[in-house]
C-alpha cells in the first residue's frame, strides 16, 4: 500500500521577532535579534538578566477577560499561533469532517507561570489553602491542545508531547505519522512556551546554561562563536497545519511544502550533556533521511539545534560532518536561535517555520552574532554568517535535541 503523503497547508506564529508569520519572516531575513533585558520581572539579582520576550502582546485585546482567566500565557500563545495557521490554511469548518482533524501540541514546561503564582500566593498567605479552580487546568501542559480543539471543534487525535527542547519536533513527527497511518486528514501541530519567570531563569542560571552577556543582550545568542557562553531563554509559539496531500488538493488548499521524513533517537549518554561524538544526533538525522528516501547530497539547508552552548554546538556540528562528509560543505547551515533565542518546547515548531521560509522564499536565514568561529568548528562550512543567503532550497532539515538525550529531526521538501 502506498504511503499517504503529508504536506504543510497553514502556518502561524508569535515569537520574539514576530507576532505573526509576515513579521517573523521579514525579521528572519533581516537578521533581527529578539534579545533584551528581561521586563517580565526584576532580574537584577540573577546572573543572567536577559531573554527573548514576545513584544507588544496584549492578551486583553485578543481574548475576552472572562475567557482569559482560563489561559496560562503558554496557552495564549498557542491559541494565537494556531488561529493564524487555521485561517491561513483556509479551513472551512462547515465543510470539514471535524472527526478527522486533530491537534498534537507540545510544551516543555506548560503552565509554569500559573504553578508559580498559585504556590507563591499560598506561601505568602496565612496557610489557608486557597487555590484557584483554574489552577490545574491552566497549569497542565496538555491544555493548549485542548483549548485549540475546543475553539474549533476538532475531534481527532488530541494530546501533548513532552520531550524537553525536542517536544515540538516530536509533536510534528507524531502528527505526520498519524496522517500517514490514516488516523486523521489534518492535524494542527506545533508548540508553545512561556518560561520567562523567576523559577525558570533561576534554574537554568544555576546550571550555568544561560548567557550572562547582560551588557550586550542583542549579541548574547551567538551559536558557533568561540566566545558563546550559553543560550538565551525565549517564549512564544509556532503552529503548522499538516494535511494529507490528496485531501489538500481536493479542497484547493495552497501547499507550502511536503513533510518528507522524520527521525528520532536517544543519546543514552548523560542527563543534560550531549554525546560528544554526536552519536544520537547522527542516528536521528540518518533515520530522517532514510524515511525521506534521500541522501546527504540532497539537503540544501540544515537548521541546527544550535543553542549557543559550549558543548552542544560542537557536538552537533561534529555529528553533521560525520554523517554528511563532503556534502556538509555543499549545504547551508544556520542557527535561527541566534535571533529568536531558545523557546524550549516550542523551539522546533518555530524553526520548522524557518525551513518553510527557506523553501518558499528561496532565502536561507542567517546565523547572526558570530565574530570568530569556534576553532573546534570547521570554518569552511557555510554557517550562513551575518546575512541571509539566496538559494533554491528544495530540501530543508531541522534538528532539535532535548535534556534527557532526546534527538529529533524532521525533513521538509519542496513540491
Catalytic residue numbers, as ranges = 165, 305, 342
Cα 191 to Cα 163, 201, 394, distances in angstroms: 11, 20, 25
In sequence order, the 6+-apart residues with CB closer than 8 A to the CB of 118 are 131, 132, 135, 139
* Sequence-separated (6 or more) residues with CB below 8 Å from residue 4: 179, 180, 181, 182, 244, 245, 246
How far apart, in whole angstroms, are the C-alpha atoms of residue 346 and residue 367? 19
Residue whose grid cell is 515540538: 168
| Nearest partner of 414 among 398, 399, 384, 392, judged by Cα | 392
Please list, in sequence order, all residues whose beta carbon lies within 8 angstroms of the beta carbon of residue 307, skipping any fewer than 6 positions away.
Answer: 165, 223, 231, 313, 335, 337, 342
For residues 120-152, one letter each, b for 16 or more C-beta atoms within 10 angstroms of the residue's C-beta and e for the rest, the string is eeeeeeeeeeeeeeebebbbbbbbbbbbbbeeb
What is the rounded distance in angstroms from the CA atom of residue 165 to the CA atom of residue 401?
Answer: 6
Q: Quote helix, strand, coil % in the chain, to nearest 5.
A: 40, 20, 40
Amino acid at each position: 500500500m502506498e504511503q499517504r503523503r503529508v504536506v504543510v497547508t497553514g502556518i502561524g506564529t508569535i515569537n520574539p521577532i514576530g507576532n505573526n508569520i509576515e513579521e517573523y519572516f521579514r525579521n528572519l531575513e533581516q537578521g533581527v535579534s529578539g534579545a533584551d533585558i528581561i521586563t517580565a520581572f526584576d532580574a537584577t539579582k540573577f546572573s543572567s538578566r536577559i531573554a527573548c520576550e514576545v513584544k507588544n502582546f496584549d492578551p486583553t485585546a485578543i481574548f475576552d477577560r472572562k475567557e482569559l482567566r482560563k489561559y496560562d500565557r503558554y496557552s495564549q500563545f498557542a491559541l494565537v499561533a494556531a488561529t493564524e495557521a487555521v485561517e491561513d490554511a483556509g479551513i472551512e469548518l462547515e465543510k470539514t469532517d471535524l472527526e478527522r482533524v486533530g491537534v498534537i501540541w507540545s510544551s516543555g514546561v506548560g503552565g509554569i507561570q500559573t504553578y508559580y503564582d498559585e504556590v507563591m500566593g499560598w506561601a505568602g498567605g496565612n496557610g489557608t489553602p486557597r487555590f484557584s479552580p483554574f489552577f490545574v487546568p491552566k497549569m497542565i501542559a496538555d491544555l493548549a491542545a485542548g483549548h485549540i480543539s475546543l475553539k474549533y471543534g476538532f475531534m481527532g487525535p488530541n494530546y501533548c508531547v513532552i520531550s524537553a527542547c525536542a517536544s515540538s519536533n516530536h509533536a510534528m513527527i507524531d502528527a505526520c505519522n498519524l496522517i500517514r497511518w490514516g488516523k486523521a486528514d489534518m492535524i494542527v501541530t506545533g508548540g508553545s512556551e512561556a518560561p520567562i519567570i523567576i523559577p525558570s531563569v533561576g534554574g537554568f542560571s544555576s546550571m550555568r546554561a544561560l548567557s550572562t552577556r547582560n551588557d550586550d543582550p542583542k549579541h548574547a545568542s551567538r551559536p558557533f562563536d568561540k566566545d558563546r557562553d550559553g543560550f538565551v531563554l525565549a517564549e512564544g509559539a509556532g503552529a503548522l497545519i499538516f494535511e494529507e496531500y490528496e485531501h489538500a488538493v481536493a479542497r484547493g488548499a495552497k501547499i507550502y511544502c511536503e513533510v518528507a521524513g522524520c527521525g528520532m533517537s536517544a543519546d543514552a549518554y548523560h542527563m543534560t550533556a550531549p554525546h560528544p561524538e554526536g552519536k544520537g544526533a547522527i542516528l536521528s538525522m540518518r533515520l530522517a533521511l532514510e524515511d525521506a528516501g534521500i541522501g546527504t547530497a540532497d539537503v540544501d539547508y540544515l537548521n541546527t539545534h544550535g543553542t549557543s552552548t559550549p558543548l552542544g554546538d560542537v557536538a552537533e556540528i561534529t555529528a553533521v560532518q560525520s554523517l554528511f562528509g563532503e556534502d556538509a560543505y555543499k549545504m547551508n547551515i544556520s542557527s535561527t536561535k541566534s535571533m529568536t533565542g531558545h523557546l524550549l518546547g516550542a523551539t522546533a515548531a518555530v524553526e520548522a517555520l524557518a525551513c518553510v521560509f527557506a523553501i518558499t522564499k528561496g532565502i536561507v536565514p542567517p546565523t547572526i552574532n558570530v565574530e570568530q568561529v569556534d576553532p573546534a568548528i570547521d570554518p569552511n562550512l557555510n554557517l550562513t554568517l551575518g546575512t541571509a543567503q539566496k538559494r533554491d532550497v528544495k530540501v530543508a532539515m531541522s534538528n532539535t535535541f532535548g535534556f534527557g538525550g532526546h534527538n529529533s529531526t524532521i525533513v521538509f521538501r519542496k513540491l
